[in-house]
Amino acid sequence: MKAFRVAVLANIRTNAPVFEGMSEDQWDDLDSESTVESLCNAIREGGHEAQFLEADESIIDSIRNYQPDICFNIAESHFGDSREAQIPAILEKLQIPYTGSKVLSLALTLDKPMTKRILAWHGLPTPEFQVFERVDEALDEGSRFPLFVKPSREGTGMGISGKSVVHDERELRQQLEIILSKYKQPALVERFIKGREVTVGLVGNLIGPVAWRVPRDENARRVQAGLTFLPAMEVNLDPSMTVEGVYGNYLKTALADQLEYLCPAPLTEDQTDELNWLAAAVFRVTGCLDVSRVDFRLDVEDNLKPYILEINPLPGLMPKLSDIVIEAEADGISHTELVNMILNAALKRYGMIS
Ligand SMILES: Nc1ncnc2c1ncn2[C@@H]1O[C@H](COP(=O)(O)OP(=O)(O)O)[C@@H](O)[C@H]1O
Ligand SMILES: [Mg+2]
């Protein structure tokens, strides 16, 4: 195996800017030093050289200094509507290969309503929704409570708690006020899906020709060649741990190591096939590359019908705790192997290995 110089590009939480009036969860989606170190070590174990570079404005200089063959990109970046696309945009300008999804897909998938419009166009199941830019906008006709209110462009459960479930107009307006003022972005209001919480990780890239479209015929053979699906993981949202069964910010951060993760999730083979197919379809229509994790809710009031909540093209890679790492481990794939699977998917895509 050829050895490459790999720069790990990430934003470490303790390096993030501090500013007046920032909220307590401002940098919850950034990475820890130890996660970044574990990525560098994994890449070294894969036989390469690795060096962490903080993905801020210094990145152009530090990349010119280090001269990587490829970057392992997990940078979420700090500011802006399409912040996750900023580092890929710079790397394309510099013509440096990088792992993971590219500019358009990262900008798209950070924006949940935009992503849902694409999913809906392709006939993929995602909860019905409406976007609010003002607290007093009229609710669409036919919307029925309970509804779910969340920021349009955040992750790691930011802005999400038991209060996100609203039961009447008064609660809706209250929650809209909180989300609009705190996150300074439109609020996404969805039908509340009462159900089980399942997420599916996948690594690799679709191989044509069938993968170049989403078959419309339900019974068509669902070809997903090139992708490796990890076993689905379910978070046990026991009522004793959660309010209204919501996997919000507090659970995802402060209580992450106390939750019960069921992996593989207790699902039938047909249900697993369905989720894998949907995950591949979302990956395809959003143009993602190398790795992603797709979050679902299974509607307990409708035969566990799966609804797509979002796709995460930069899934957390914290050893032992991140969802996709837990999924890999359930399949006998170590953190080191998972990281190298992602790197190899990119190297292959660029024709740097065969
Ligand atoms: N429409 C919905 N119905 C029920 N629960 C939801 C809905 N949307 C989000 N949630 C809950 O909030 C959590 C986080 O939502 P998600 O859209 O995945 O945002 P994040 O980017 O923060 O992970 C979900 O895992 C789920 O528990
Ligand atoms: Mg999610």
**Ion ligand 2 contact residues with beta carbon within 5 A:** 295
Secondary structure element (H or E) that encloses residue 195, with its range: strand 195-204
pLDDT value at 245 more than 70: yes
This prediction's pTM: 0.95
To test the pocket of ligand 1, the residue of 160, 253, 259 to mutate (highest count of ligand atoms within 8 Å of its CB) is 160
pLDDT band at 335 (very low <50, low <70, confident <90, very high): very high
Task: Give me ligand 2 centre to Cα 49, in Å.
Answer: 32
CATH 3.40.50.1100 fits 5-99, yes or no: no
Q: Where are the domains of the chain?
A: 5-99, 109-125+193-349, 129-191
CATH code of the domain made up of 109-125+193-349 = 3.30.470.20
SS3 13: helix
Q: Which CATH class is domain 129-191?
A: alpha beta
Asked if residue 299 has its Cβ within 6 Å of ligand 1, the reply is no
- Which amino acid belongs to residue 342? I
pLDDT band at 224 (very low <50, low <70, confident <90, very high): confident
Secondary structure element (H or E) that encloses residue 169, with its range: helix 169-183
Distance CA 190, CA 194 (A): 12
What's the mean pLDDT when you consider all of the chain?
93
Residues 8-40 pLDDT 10s: 999 999 999 999 988 889 998 899 999 999 999
Flag the least confident range among 55-64, 127-136, 206-215, 343-352.
206-215
To test the pocket of ligand 1, the residue of 175, 246, 282 to mutate (highest count of ligand atoms within 8 Å of its CB) is 246
Distance CA 123, CA 256 (A): 33
pLDDT band at 331 (very low <50, low <70, confident <90, very high): very high
Asked if residue 195 has its Cβ within 6 Å of ligand 1, the reply is no
